[in-house]
A and B are shown apart, each in its own frame.
Chain A
């Protein structure tokens, strides 16, 4: 023990323990419980009501638009021939992509023992679920005869009397999305059980009954913990391939077609990177607001935010590289249709969409090379919004600009959204925010038990004096988070 010195990897290993910022507020067990659970226990703040009522009304508008669309036909949207898919599938991919950050944070970072994830995984997973809910609306409602949409599922029914077409990527989508939604919900709920028990323990009356029911009789015994940890790890293992597979399959909707601009092998990794990119941007947008609103700056620290910014920088650059590769291949393949499609993206009638995408997705994250910018909260908030916009445009560019001018110039057309398109999309934000506000009001928005695990390691470590001293000296270096 005498000669113990800290190597780089030792520092990396212990650094996650120190992500909680002890400088501002105490982060003991009691404080963490108090800080997180009190959010769901205090009288509903007026600001919450304002936000909830607004979100709820916007959500009602969504349902109104969907009812109008079902009653009248898909023609209330601007879709046409040749642009058979437009905002519907754009918004579907947009929301599905956003969901990916949650699963990445909770599953992949869990398996890689990235303990800084503990402060943000709960909110990110909730966001995943709500984003999948928003996304799920579109594939269902974009079909012409929604009352027959159940034919997409291989369930016994008397009016189709046959199997689905398993060659169709849309069918793969059905399986991918439904699996993803189910596993995400399970994973989230299993992770919630100890925290729900914590809320139960502090509650009385009906509230205690409800939380008691939801916490499934959790008592915190060693056996419970043992089973819980195992279940959580298995679910993490199950979710991990889903992070890659769901967006891969979504990208197959395009990659499997014959359309120039869709028919590319680069799509799976490109879509996954884009999904993670957009998902982190959305987590960032939400957490910057909520950590401030609920005074959780000591639990969701600047280091968390910086880590996420680094991920955005990486994935944004990957996405930018993919854009470049597409152009290179379009030229290198010698395929005139392919080449035209990409020239048309950049310089055709939808040039504004393309350059919005490039500036938001490729250029804006490059600011995060600078440490001062990636730790500047207002700045990262603005950039995260830009990335959200850019990633929406990416899907719009892929779908609409490829479709509107394909093989035969005679069939070329143009897409313009109608007010129903726009209000339906706005409405999905209402649904998303309504669900998220309900989540922060009724569920601990930070994984208490997991954060405590990090604190525990921190509090109960028993290191030699000189190591502690060395760590104090190297505090800054340790605080440098490695992703």
Chain B
């Protein structure tokens, strides 16, 4: 369906003849310069497409004129069925993620990383992939509400004009806004501050990197944010820092880190990762050495490492294991001085960050691998205190919440919900009718980032324009627009605000520069220059180290799916299994086996009910279901935030438990906690929940070796014995044309889950709900297998993405009675949905269990709005048919058609022309795909690697997807402690 059918939209339309008179059209028609096309690579074609849209100015849904052209009248350069691409950014937690949006018939259908953007380099995260679904959330805030009754923007504007002009200097006015490092937002904010100098401002993000900024301030005297060049570091130490997982924006660190994990032949080197943490994070799963510490013990450990590194004193680390770890680590760091990184995570106090910087300074890493930049957004610790005091003291009479859901995410001691209710005038601009919207007098619909103009800055400071891809579905406005309106600024249209702000600063042809910025998705030369700051090592060494508590501690973690709760109504992200616990539709408390034993609690397996634990911080208690994680520190309870929303749409209702009630402003990262077994039990649903399925059962599944063993025995992964591999049927010679194949490098995969969400979006994968996942019916075409090794204390984790392996000798094909799954001459295991009658025999006979059956009609409850998120190139499957990964066969066809119809002449598909959705989104570049017959293709080269192995090759299924074995790079000084981890 086309956009114009949505009832809520009342577009202003211009007849085509009038449209032709617009200056933009004239410009375009008169041949305003198109970017040169020097080659025909996919990237250039995409660029050209994006440029075409940017230049044309009138065809896409929200262009400067804000007109919508009915498709029935035809648009010259819009080819029906051909997607268009736009570069934009998504501000998440104040950090911009560079994205490239695919739009089909004017509706955004897929999010990709922008290859040009320094913060994404083509990769993206679960959050940005999933953010698309929030656009089409049927429970979105869709109209203005006054005291929970329908109202209009006009009514609000009238009210605002009156109310906000009477506020004088801004006494009693408070703003709580989402963080945004965009310059146009800051300009509007500056204007508003000028108008109301006494207004209170709180830039609230429940998950932020403020402690790093404060730590840098402590260490250098200047507020600064550290950024790390992981691609230049041979030794990386993460102090409670999940930089490859959910902490901060993990895409760029993952990109850089994975470069140091590329090992193609014996003798190659790779980096060494030490992780010190309490829970088991994704970064921990990549670790070569992992030390389990309570979060409060990290400071002491960092101080000792600092002493060892700066060579001042004897170590006083408690415990033999830790002592050994610290001294080996310090030795390794010293050896790699200038080529190492010590980074602390956002949960750790500014003191720990200062210690980490001091270690880096002592090692000479500052300026080499660690740089300090101007912070994107200033730390809000003091602002929070001031706001909390004002709100508690009844000094706030007008409260404006611009984005976000502070009633849910604020520390419990702020008591936001109860206190804000007493505020006389409260305005909330939000994407959904959430907890904050419930207490606000005025509820305003916020524009989704795909609907509105804006800007943002990436972690390195690079600025980008956020350009919309679709007109606001529900007439929403951005924070910037609303603030401009409240401040009575003459210009309140987002487009004008952003464009005027930026073009003012451009030199030369401003219009051209503006169009280039839109086209590229980045504004060149806007990255921050590193600050020349020195860390005062002596001062930091002399400071008292915060002593660890003897209590049990709770860690507040971002969820891999719902982040801080903003995606709680996003089915893709709620049904996304946590990479370690594999829990879906809920959060849980993770703990070590010993801790569970001391509390006498057991976790539930195979969807049976398990025990719950009552966690008490201060006076607040929360019940949480238990998941025991090997390798977890004893006395530590890991809890993800973002669940247990009270006022949430149809998806998030009843999902999980609200851990924010335990989070105070004094303990936002971790806090002492009292835990006791609760009398209740709870059914926690996990996608990998067989009691014996947590380990590899001594099977050669994830093949793993140390770097040293690999150099001695490079073909270790290929040594699997078995009977001779013979087939009953004559072999098909796959020796012509394109023969598609894939490799997945297990040494690079961090398990971030982005490929799963990318696949959901690309292939219209239905989400099935908690009850159905409990029955084992999730439809994920690609899953992330997680295996523990080692014992309950010192465990390692191996992760393995698992999608259809496209076996040449596919066991699923021979058993299908109606030949609904057959092999293509290009080596794809095709699935003809229309021919499938649903015997499920193929699923039974699939040794990888990657085929998914539509047991019920999963799309029955889907609204028309949600259907807009569907990829038109992929048919949705009816109930009763089998489905599975086909290496994004629609993308293969598209690539082949593009190669055939190349304006420069028909040609073969080039390597890199076709990217599968999982490959394209992978921030670690772990997935390669291409023609295996082409010896120069990346995939063929990787398949020649000694680390390459076919999983379950002994069954003679001849999978086209192969894995590159995992390596670890242990420190020889710690080798005796390390157990043989792998199941090889």
Q: Which A residues lie at the B interface, using CB under 8 A?
A: 72-76, 78-85, 142-146, 148-149, 151-152, 160, 162-165, 167-171, 174, 253, 256-259, 336-337, 340, 348-349, 403, 405-414, 416
Contacts and interface: CB of A to CB of B under 8 A. Distances in A.
Contacts of B848: 407-408, 411
B312 interface: no
A253 B840 CA distance: 12
Given A143-B839, A257-B844, A403-B844, A413 B815 contact: no
7 contacts: A73-B856, A76-B856, A85-B841, A144-B836, A257-B845, A406-B847, A413-B776
B777 A80 contact: yes
Contacts of A143: 837-839, 880
B844 A412 contact: no
When A and B form their complex, which 4 residue pairs have the shortest distance between CB atoms, in order from nearest?
A144-B838, A144-B880, A75-B855, A80-B776
A413 B690 contact: yes
A165 B817 contact: yes
Interface string B683-712: 000001011111111110100000000000
Nearest to B847: A407
A410 B688 contact: yes
A83 to B, nearest CB: 7
Contacts of A84: 840-841, 843-844, 853
A63 B226 CA distance: 69
B819 interface: yes
Contacts of A414: 606-607, 690, 776
A81 B845 contact: no
B122 to A, nearest CB: 28
B823 to A, nearest CB: 12
Majority-rule SS of A interface residues: loop
A143 B815 CA distance: 14
Nearest to A344: B692
Contacts of A83: 776
B814 interface: yes
A81 B952 CA distance: 19
Contacts of A148: 837
Given A73-B880, A409-B696, A149 B837 contact: yes
Given A79-B855, A84-B841, A152-B818, A409 B695 contact: yes
Contact of A409 (B693, B783, B843): B693
A145 B698 contact: no
B42 interface: no
A411 B805 CA distance: 15
A412 B815 contact: no
A143 B884 CA distance: 18
A160 B820 CA distance: 10
B840 A144 contact: yes
A413 B606 CA distance: 7
B602 to A, nearest CB: 16
B841 A168 contact: yes
A399 to B, nearest CB: 9
Contacts of A85: 840-841, 844
A376 to B, nearest CB: 43
A170 B775 contact: no
Contacts of A74: 838, 840, 853, 855-856, 880
Contacts of B698: 336
Nearest to B834: A159
Interface string B817-861: 111000000000000000111111101110111011111110000
A405 B690 CA distance: 9
Contacts of A76: 856
Contacts of A167: 729, 814-815
Nearest to B606: A414
A49 B856 CA distance: 39
Contacts of B814: 165, 167-168, 256
A468 B787 CA distance: 80
A437 B525 CA distance: 89
Q: For chain B, what secondary structure do more than half of its interface residues adopt (helix, strand, loop), or is it mixed? A: loop
A257 to B, nearest CB: 5
Given A81-B778, A84-B843, A146-B880, 8 more contacts: A78-B775, A85-B840, A144-B838, A144-B879, A406-B847, A410-B787, A414-B690, A416-B775
B696 A258 contact: no
B811 interface: yes
B139 interface: no
B786 to A, nearest CB: 7
A337 B847 CA distance: 11
A253 B844 CA distance: 11
Nearest to B773: A80
Given A405-B690, A410-B787, A410-B802, A259 B844 contact: yes
Nearest to A167: B814
B816 interface: yes
B849 A408 contact: yes
Contact of A73 (B844, B851, B855): B855
Contact of B881 (A145, A151, A162): A145
B857 A73 contact: yes
Given A168-B841, A257-B811, A144 B881 contact: yes
Contact of B847 (A73, A151, A256, A408): A408
A258 B957 contact: yes
A481 B234 CA distance: 86
Contacts of A170: 815-817, 839, 841
B955 interface: yes
B984 to A, nearest CB: 13
A408 B983 CA distance: 13
Nearest to A256: B815
A85 B842 CA distance: 11
Pick from A81, A259, A348, A413 the residue with the most CB of B within 10 Å. A81
B817 A164 contact: yes
B785 interface: yes
Nearest to A75: B855
A152 B817 contact: yes
B837 A144 contact: yes
Most A Cβ at <10 Å: residue of B817, B840, B879: B817
A405 to B, nearest CB: 7
A91 B74 CA distance: 59
A253 B848 CA distance: 19
A407 B837 contact: no
A168 B690 contact: no
A168 B847 CA distance: 17
A336 B700 CA distance: 11
B883 to A, nearest CB: 11
Nearest to A163: B819
Interface string B330-371: 000000000000000000000000000000000000000000
Given A164-B817, A165-B819, A82 B847 contact: no
A471 B689 CA distance: 70
Contacts of B852: 81
A72 B848 CA distance: 28
Contacts of A81: 776-778, 843, 849, 851-853
A349 B775 CA distance: 16
B429 to A, nearest CB: 41
Centre residue among A259, A336, A412 by max chain B CB count within 10 A: A412
Contacts of B729: 167
A168 B952 contact: no
Contacts of B880: 73-74, 143-146
Among B729, B835, B851, the most chain A Cβ lie within 10 Å of the Cβ of B835
B751 to A, nearest CB: 13
Most A Cβ at <10 Å: residue of B698, B699, B775:
B775
Given A84-B853, A412-B692, A151 B837 contact: yes
A409 B881 CA distance: 25
Given A151-B837, A168-B817, A410-B783, A82 B856 contact: no
A413 B605 CA distance: 10
A410 B951 CA distance: 14
A82 B849 contact: yes
B701 A408 contact: yes
Given A81-B843, A168-B817, A409 B697 contact: yes
